[in-house]
Amino acid sequence: MSAIGSLVFCTDCGNLLDSSTGNQNTILLCECCNAENKDTASKTITTTTKAASFPSLLRQKRSAVQTVERSDMENSVKIAMACEMCGRKEVKYTSAQLRGADEGSTIFFQCDCGHRWNTNN
């Protein structure tokens, strides 16, 4: 019988045997050729990988903190919407993707009176 990691194969026919227990005194029975095989797999298999093993431009750009440039926020557009504080008919708005890519963006509103608020889209 041969073992590769926690996978145990029959020495007679090469069939993948039932799950290994890691105990070398255990006898595993092959369902194809009915051969009895000793369990030679190790008890615990631990594998680790490093980010450098899978280089990616996207992974390099990924960060836990997202920064929004002030210039991005200043390019606002006026929209016909009433201000919650003063009642003006037009307010400025900008949007930014602050949450996950599969979630909506955050819309920031600002009135000329100085009132600001936001909504999650």
Annotated binding site for Zn(2+): 10, 13, 30, 33, 83, 86, 111, 113
Check if the beta carbon of residue 111 is closer than 8 Å to that of residue 118. no
Token digits of residue 61: 């750009």
Which amino acids are annotated as binding site, given as ranges? Answer: 10, 13, 30, 33, 83, 86, 111, 113
Give the separation between CA 21 and CA 18, rounded to whole angstroms. 9
- Please give the backbone phi and psi of residue 74, each rounded to the nearest 5 degrees, phi first: -80, -15
Residues in CB range of 99: below 8 A, 6 or more apart? 105, 106, 120
Token digits of residue 2: 């041969």
Check if the beta carbon of residue 36 is closer than 8 Å to that of residue 29. yes
